[in-house]
Amino acid sequence: MIQVPMTFKQIGFTGDYAQLKSMGFEFQKLYAGNYMQWHHEESDVRIWKKGADVTISQISGMEGQLLQMMLDDTVFPIKHSNIIGYYLEMYVNCVTNILTLDHRGHEAEVMLGCIDRSWQSLIMNRDTILMLQKLGKLGWIHVKDVEGVHYIDEKWLEVA
């Protein structure tokens, strides 16, 4: 693995923690690090007091890019399944660490039967987008840049 310095987009929280319970969030204190967290079950949105971050398990690490797309008025193609209901499918290029709605790279790898894939499909339920929109309308969330390291497997550098 190669470490590549990079700026990540995350979601920062500037809202009122006291109001989260009335919005359906449940409070949890994680004692190992004395973390305080509010979790919304239907949307899987987690708000952390330490760092004032918002995370979403379904798209871990891509939250800021998703919010930036929402702020840029991206039209999200919501799909429907009888099993999981309404959802959004997105794709991550694991080499560049970029989130996109463009399915062509992922589908090409599937069609070729690639075992080692540079694209990953992410599925997120509609409730997550609705919750982010609600928090955004309240002015409680924003995109923040955080410096970090992205890890790339050496095999992808040969392809690029």
pLDDT digits (tens, 9 = 90+) for 80-137: 999 888 999 999 998 889 999 999 999 988 888 877 788 999 999 999 999 999 999 9
Would you place residue 152 in the very low, low, confident or very high pLDDT band (cuts 50, 70, 90)?
confident
Per-residue confidence (pLDDT) for residue 156, from 0 to 100: 66
Assess whether pLDDT exceeds 60 at residue 26: yes
What average pLDDT score do residues 73-85 get?
90
Per-residue confidence (pLDDT) for residue 116, from 0 to 100: 73
Would you place residue 27 in the very low, low, confident or very high pLDDT band (cuts 50, 70, 90)?
very high
* Domain range list for the chain: 2-154
Q: What ranges in 11-153 are assigned the alpha helix state H?
A: 63-71, 104-112, 126-137
Gyration radius of the chain over CA positions: 17
Task: Please give the helix or strand (H or E) that residue 148 lies within, else none.
Answer: strand 141-152
In this structure, of 7-16, 29-38, 88-97, 117-126, the range with the lowest mean pLDDT score is 29-38
Assess whether pLDDT exceeds 80 at residue 146: yes
3-state secondary structure of 53: strand
Q: Give the Cα-Cα-Cα angle 155, 157, 158 (nearest 5 degrees).
A: 70
Would you place residue 51 in the very low, low, confident or very high pLDDT band (cuts 50, 70, 90)?
confident
Q: Is the model more confident about 160 or about 18?
A: 18
Residue 48 CB-density burial (10 A; 0-12 exposed, 13-18 middle, 19+ buried)? middle
